[in-house]
Amino acid sequence: MRESNFYPKLLLSVEELLKNFSSIPEKRKIELEKIAEILKQTLLDTNKVEMIFICTHNSRRSHLAQIWTTLASKYFGINNFYTYSGGTESTEFNHRCVKALTSVGFHINATTIGINPTYICKYNETEESITVFSKIYNDSSNPKDNFIAIMVCTDADDECPFVIGAKHRISLPYDDPKLYDNTELEESKYSERNKQIGTEMLYMISSLKNLLS
């Protein structure tokens, strides 16, 4: 059963992204479907999935992927599904990503202040929230073994040819919206990347749902 108690604006955003599946290139769909196969087998083998999305700074793409995959798992009713994120170094959850996610209906609030604030990201009022802050991928808050590592940037992909503890290591890079910081294209590029990652994570988890049906 699909999740129906998301915040109204967020639910509308999800429904719009579901209509964008046809915009995903066929080659990319195949990559996402292969990940769905791995997720299915992991659930069948261990009755649990743990995924860490990894990029260099754990500031943009890895957080977007974590948040959207969590939402997708809730939307499609996948149980025992846990997502995390990390970097090869820590910086901060970039405020431009906060803005992009808020614009589509997530509720995000900072619970600490400083150079690397902690945020609480919510998709409804009843489920557990997602705690978001920048960290290295082997931070104590992340799983240490038998997880699935998804490399969402080419730099992290190059820097971590081997991720200690990962049962699977998969390359799924996205262009970095940071390239457009402080330009007239900044807002549109962050929105574009946010929606691209949202669409692809929803497609990946919908593929998993179909495999499990």
Closest to 67 in 3D by CA, of 201, 185, 211, 183: 201
**How much is the pLDDT for 1?**
44
Q: Rounded to 5 degrees, what angle do the CA atoms 142, 148, 150 make?
A: 95
Element (H, E) at 8: helix 8-18
**How much is the pLDDT for 3?**
54
DSSP 8-state code for residue 23: G
DSSP string, 147-191: EEEEE-SHHHHHH-SS-TTEEEEEE-----GGGGTTSTTHHHHHH
Low-confidence ranges of the chain (pLDDT < 50): 1
How far apart (Å, rounded) are the C-alpha atoms in residues 132 and 12?
A: 23
Closest to 100 in 3D by CA, of 88, 108, 90: 108
Tell me the β-bridge partners of 148.
51, 168
**How much is the pLDDT for 128?**
85
| 124-140 burial code (b ≥16 CB/10 A, e <16) | beeeebbebbbbebebe
Q: Which CATH class is domain 8-212?
A: alpha beta
Domain residue ranges of the chain, discontinuous segments joined by +: 8-212
pLDDT tens-digit readout, 129-160 = 999 999 999 999 999 999 999 999 887 667 76
